[in-house]
Amino acid sequence: MSQKMKLIGSLTSPFVRKVRIVAAEKFVEYEFVLDVPWNDDTHVPDFNPLGKVPVWVLEDGKTLFDSRVIVEYLENVSPVGHLLPKDARPRIAVKRWEALADGVCDAAALVFVEKKRPGDRQDPDWIRRQMGKVEAGLKALSEELGQQTWCTGEFFCLADIAVGCALGYLDFRFPEIDWRRKHPNLSELYDRLMQRPAFKDTIPVA
Ligand SMILES: N[C@@H](CCC(=O)N[C@@H](CS)C(=O)NCC(=O)O)C(=O)O
């Protein structure tokens, strides 16, 4: 029997936020199922063997993960609000932006988890290594954005959503990282993105 599509995720994950924003921009309807994969009572592993969110559940109960697969599916399923170019070359360029932004989130999330461990079990070298990736990723994003309005130039697309989710995640988990002062063009981009209801409605909350 056919069921409404579902998105399983938390309200803090930048990857879940990316999927929520893409679905909103493309007017795809779904039911949001709140599940924090770190909680003891999580059901996420029943839907994704990797135990990670986001997970998208299709009408026939089949599941999609990870966020990059889900957003590609949403792009194909809804004809409105194109977020990925059709042609291979510009499409790959957008996916590269997404990989870079997601990579910043991966490194930042690893630091967040490491810092939750008791002080004597934290590895400062590991934290420094991951923070180096966050800093280098931000620098590359800023350099590649330059003075353009949107990441790939004139048009808003998935690249902007992915970068916005990374910046919003840093604001949320690492307010001490002063990326706005170091990279004013990223700050302007985030302010521009926050004008959109899909961004405003998905600000991370603990
Ligand atoms: N590459 C994955 C990353 C997903 C991910 O790392 N999700 C985190 C939340 S931000 C998670 O579920 N972590 C739980 C775990 O690692 O056990 C994607 O794009 O969906």
pLDDT digits (tens, 9 = 90+) for 107-143: 999 999 999 999 999 999 999 999 999 999 999 999 9
Q: Greater confidence, 66 or 1? A: 66
Ligand 1 contact, 17 CB (< 6 A): no
Count of alpha carbons within 13 angstroms of residue 79, beta-carbon side = 0
Rounded to whole angstroms, how far apart are CA atoms 137 and 143?
10
Q: pLDDT-derived band of residue 1, with 50, 70 and 90 as boundaries?
A: low
* Whether 17 contacts 166, CB under 8 Å: no
Distance 66 CA to ligand 1 centre (A): 8
Ligand 1 contact, 37 CB (< 6 A): yes
Rounded to whole angstroms, how far apart are CA atoms 113 and 104?
14
Rounded to whole angstroms, how far apart are CA atoms 71 and 21?
10
Q: Whose CA is closest to atom 11 on ligand 1? A: 52
pLDDT of 192 higher than 80: yes
Ligand 1 contact, 68 CB (< 6 A): yes
Q: pLDDT-derived band of residue 2, with 50, 70 and 90 as boundaries?
A: confident
pLDDT of 69 higher than 80: yes
Adjacent-strand bridge partners of 64: 56
pLDDT in tens, 14-30: 999 999 999 999 999 99
Domains in the chain with CATH codes? 6-77 (3.40.30.10), 88-200 (1.20.1050.10)
